[in-house]
Structure 1
């Protein structure tokens, strides 16, 4: 049951990413990277035996993320229109991590517990990488407004 829900959750995130990509094509580089990572994550969930988790394959390379962050940092105009979709995916990754945490904590089997808690950590890493893009957009907003638009360091 937990694995089925996890697959459904990850597929729902893919559907949301596809919608975000249609609404904000200027962030296609980010959406494409996240879609690839989601597909990789679903493949891991579909395996019969828990495989070793390749962090780079499931969270993206540092080089890929540097390119995404550099692209977002160099964008001009419509900052708020980019912030909303980024907040959306950031929140979805947070919720997915919370699910994997709860699935692990509520497992009676040590191997299964470790598996789900590892999946939680992968989602948290992915969330932190998206968080870099969110911070970049917040900095742009700060520059436009002349003050921090949101409480810094508070989530």
Structure 2
């Protein structure tokens, strides 16, 4: 089975209903569809958050996301996988990232989806700046994200 793997970095919002339909279209070999949606929270580390600015390294970011998709395809029997990651100025409740995977069986779809979100959080070159009542601050990678990503290296 050949995989259809897609990664997009964009400023524009996306429609998860349409993206889900695109994943299912002409995809009768898949019986399992798993997705993860990440959005901007209105709080972080005890502070209110009014907006989030995401920056990336154009070209390199897409290359890393495509490498992760290929790794997921090599590790699990998936038929399709897609990552959409937004950059630019976002406000609370805006969608940031959508990761979706389809497979013949749920175990592969769940594992591949979890791997993709864990790996992109630590490997893809994105930088986040929060704004709120406390002012602006750049966010560092969380130890918990690093620990979660390490589990896949075993």
TM-score by length of 2: 0.31
TM-score scaled by length of structure 1: 0.31
Relative contact order: is structure 1 or structure 2 higher (C-alpha 8 Å, sep ≥ 6)? 2
